[in-house]
Amino acid sequence: MHSTNHHNGLKTLFLIGALWALLIGIGYLIAENTGNPIWIIGFGLLGVGQTAYSYWNSDKLAVSSMNAYPVSEHEQPVMYKVVRELSQKAGQPMPDLFVAPTMSPNAFATGRNPRHAAVCCTEGILHLLNERELRGVLGHELSHVYNRDILTGSVAAGIAGLVGSISSMMLYMGAGRSEDRRNGNPIALLLIALLAPFAATFVRFAVSRTREFDADHDGALLTEDPLALASALSKLSGGVAARPLPEHPKVEPLSAMMIANPFGGLSRNMFATHPPMEERIKRLEEMAGY
């Protein structure tokens, strides 16, 4: 088995930097139109606050949005056994385990660090996969925790959400009403109000796609069985398409954290939350020497 460096760490830093630049850029344009530089500082502080709240409460928010319930070792012995073995192998604490009451097959991990982490499987994925494939999926999810992807995702989602809210506020208040200001640029302000939410969403989902490749790679190294995850992804591709989750506002922020697009949509457009399954499977097969 061999690994490949896809430079995803540098790519993620660049994308997060682009989100922050977009947020500060909005603040700059509003400051230019209002003549008050406090907007730049204010938006920066709001971004930090939104990120901190999302990050600190990520486990509770994610689990509750799926109505997931905690499970004991007696209730889910295989899930417990696999997670315990992989946690011990990685030298990390055992996360809390949850099951979401839906037959749509999926899984996600959340929590601000390995000591405050949770792994959740849906009832559907527990029925769909065999133990070897489930091990591949759980290795992937634990890798998200160990790579601190919850922080990365919280930053991306928090800033993207804030950009969307600010843009809506700008449009509602009438971004172009500062035409009488000599130094203002109301046209640029209106354009950024219209386009910024799309740019922020694109960058947020690009971050998600990048982290999925890393979790596939690191999870396969943890389990020492990349073909198990490849087999699981192949089953999930059809399983989610057959039983997608309903597109609900409560679930949408969680979709990028799941191992497969929960809504069963295609992943070949710039707003996709996940890389194409065939590309993920191909990379895993290359790791196994195929």
SS3 letters for the chain? Answer: CCCCCCCHHHHHHHHHHHHHHHHHHHHHHHHHHHCCCHHHHHHHHHHHHHHHHHHHCHHHHHHHHCCCEECCCCCCHHHHHHHHHHHHHHCCCCCEEEEECCCCCCEEEEEEECCEEEEEEEHHHHHHCCHHHHHHHHHHHHHHHHCCHHHHHHHHHHHHHHHHHHHHHHHHHCHHHHCCCCCCCHHHHHHHHHHHHHHHHHHHHHHHHHHHHHHHHHHHHHHCCHHHHHHHHHHHHHHHHHCCCCCCCCCHHHHHHECCCCCCCCCCCCCCCCCCHHHHHHHHHHHCCC
Residues with catalytic roles:
141
Sites in the chain below the pLDDT cut of 50:
1-6, 8, 175-176, 178-182
- pTM of the predicted model as reported, rounded to 2 decimal places: 0.74
pLDDT at residue 280 in the model: 95
pLDDT tens track for 237-246? 999 999 999 8
pLDDT at residue 58 in the model: 62
pLDDT at residue 112 in the model: 75
pLDDT at residue 1 in the model: 44
pLDDT at residue 22 in the model: 72
pLDDT at residue 21 in the model: 74
